[in-house]
A and B are shown apart, each in its own frame.
Chain A
Amino acid sequence: MIKIEQLSKKYKSADTYSVADLDLHIAEKEIFGLLGPNGAGKTTLISLLCSLVKPTSGSFTIDNLTYKNSNKLKQRIGIVPQEYALYPSLTAYENLAYFGSMYGLKGNALKQKINNAIDILGLSRFAHKKVSTFSGGMKRRINLIASILHDPKVLFLDEPTVGVDVQSKNVIIKYLQALNKAGTTIVYTSHHLNEAEKFCTTVAIIDHGKIITQGQPQELVSNQENANNLEDVFLALTGKALRDHA
């Protein structure tokens, strides 16, 4: 589904590559976890795949489309950004209707999709309330719905459960699993390694813009000496030094 070849990105102001000669294949219907410390290149890689930033070199295809087929590609992918990316003064329904319309959805079809999604994610009661009054968890769920109304083939999620309560996290993960069952390939970044271990079918650990290991979570744990879980693998491969960057 996603083929990345020798993909690199170096920002003008940076001294080093955020993504460096990265090769990666993600199969269809996979839940692919992209894990790494701060500044490892996770968000840059997702931004590259979503055509938000231009690669310095290399190429990628998603469902056999490149960024040159921009509108077709955008129609097949969905992105759940780290930020809420919603209009606070609009209601949940108005936000979703607007973003759905941007994918060409309209009328009853759009209405039905919105109602189904907000029902599954437990937001029906709040559909006509302003987003500014929502808790972090509620905003995260609306943020997710805004990205899947057009039934994307690939869904990118940049830390979708950051700052949400356990209940919201549970609902979000279950919903994503249902989407995946229905055929959506999921690419997900997170710092919650326990969550990733349970949720992902494949994970890749990225550091300094390169994939340093890749495989099924259990496989990675068993291959790493003295590792009991994914967190042990992660620390063994990326080290314990702080990764502050500005």
Chain B
Amino acid sequence: MHKLWASTYKEFLLLTRDIGGIAILFVMPIVLIITITIIQDSSFKTIGNNKIPILLVDNDNGSVSKTIYDGLKSSNSFTIIKKQQEHKAKDLVFKGEYQLAIIIPKELSTDLKKKVDQNVEGILEKFGVEEETEEISPKETIPHKEVKLYFDPATQITFKNSVKNGIDKMISKIETQSIYKAFQEQISDDESEVLFKTDNFITFKEIMPRQGNKEIMPNSVQHNVPAWTLFAIFFIIVPLSINIVKEKNQGTFVRLRTNPVSYATVLGGKTAVYLAVCMIQFIIMLLIGVYIFPKLGLPELEISGRLFNLFIVAFFAGLAAIGLGLLLGTIAKTQEQSAPFGATFVVILAALGGVWVPVFAMPKFMQIVSNISPMNWGLNAFYDVFLRNASIIEIVPEIILLLLFFIITVLISIVYNEKKHAV
């Protein structure tokens, strides 16, 4: 025990003497979490000032284009700039000055009306209720209409898809309403008579998990703090592996091998100190979420009633990260091996863990692979606590996996070291 304590104290001294290293350990995660949360916050906001400027070329000037214009405007996501010519709008978008241009074709409103009237009359004719006085040539061919969308080539697919879906939904609604209107005109002479209610019959209501009487509202902060805190915690493998490699290179490791002390004790000292670093990082992240984010105009991190469970998750995630760092440091021979590998490996683990792209959106194979990422276990446990209001019992499976990961990586480190230096 005394040797473990001495090793821990030595690691503490080594760490605290490296002011630059400490600054990187604590400042970089802070910069990371603030930057990412501010950037990602806009995608969570429904009402905000970050409207995306888009171009609209209205060749229709009818009721349909007006409905599209009103729909886009009422979404509060866009600042609509009207342009007269399609080619100019196209050039501006392809140069990257605007994300999107919407081109509404000529005669869209009148042709849509004609097409719908034609269809409705056809149907009524089948039922034998068409008005004989109406004279629309059944042979008239109404051409298909195309609403053109020009996207900046650099635009992300998710943004493209959401815009396309939004416009598609708007057009479907316009078509439905036109059909109802055409039926009404054909069936009733009284224009004020309401035969069809065009309101949506089916609506959606999102039910959030509740904590007591309070609804748990997911926002950018609730999503980002756990994800990027975990990312920062796992980055501990870089300085930790460098610490071990340094010991090998400066000869102190050779001396320790001649001392009556086990490798497990040496690793134990490192684990204690770097785990403390992880926990301090975590506390700082929480404090930023609670106190700094609201001052930056971001939502406040909601942690009430969850603190104990959050610390449990952070503790075991920290252990898993340290296990990985110890293993990397044991195997690597130089800092040139451990530092780039460690940094890249954390990014890979984060990607697999669902920090950037949710696991459900990954290809099937990657979903399977993500199950073996400790960052995925940690992130799930954090989301369980932050967003699903899970109890400690519910996060036990993830906690066990993180602990097992730590035990296995440490065991491999010890066995590898023993084998390599077996006498």
Contacts and interface: CB of A to CB of B under 8 A. Distances in A.
Interface string A43-54: 000000011111
B2 A90 contact: no
A70 B422 CA distance: 11
B260 to A, nearest CB: 4
A66 to B, nearest CB: 10
A245 B251 CA distance: 22
B214 interface: no
B261 interface: yes
A17 interface: no
B10 A79 contact: no
Contacts, number: 81
A77 interface: yes
A88 B251 CA distance: 11
B14 to A, nearest CB: 6
Interface string B394-423: 000000000000000000000000000111
Contact of A83 (B13, B254, B260): B254
Interface string B240-274: 00000000001110111111110000000000000
A216 interface: no
Given A98-B6, A101-B3, A102-B3, A90 B255 contact: no
A52 B259 CA distance: 11
A71 interface: yes
Contact of A87 (B14, B257, B258, B421): B14
A54 B419 CA distance: 11
A203 to B, nearest CB: 24
Interface residues of B, number: 24
A81 B254 contact: yes
A94 B252 CA distance: 13
A50 B13 contact: no
A52 B176 CA distance: 83
A54 B423 contact: yes
A106 B2 contact: yes
B279 to A, nearest CB: 23
A91 to B, nearest CB: 9
Contacts of A147: 255
Contacts of B250: 83-88
A83 to B, nearest CB: 4
B252 A50 contact: no
A146 interface: yes
B6 A52 contact: no
A84 B251 contact: yes
Contacts of A86: 250-252
B423 A102 contact: no
Contacts of A204: none
Given A97-B6, A101-B2, A70 B258 contact: no
B6 A74 contact: no
A51 B258 contact: yes
B13 A103 contact: no
Give the interface residue-count category, chain A.
35 or more
A134 interface: no
B191 interface: no
Give the interface centre of B2, B3, B252, B261 by most chain A CB atoms within 10 Å. Answer: B252
Contact of B260 (A67, A71, A87, A106): A71
Given A94-B10, A102-B3, A75 B260 contact: yes
Interface in A52-93: 52-54, 67, 70-72, 74-75, 77-79, 81, 83-90
Interface of B: 2-3, 6-7, 9-10, 13-14, 17-18, 250-252, 254-261, 421-423
12 contacts: A52-B421, A54-B422, A79-B258, A84-B250, A84-B251, A85-B252, A86-B250, A86-B252, A90-B13, A102-B260, A102-B261, A104-B3
Given A52-B423, A53-B423, A90-B13, 9 more contacts: A51-B258, A81-B251, A85-B250, A85-B251, A89-B18, A97-B6, A98-B7, A98-B9, A99-B259
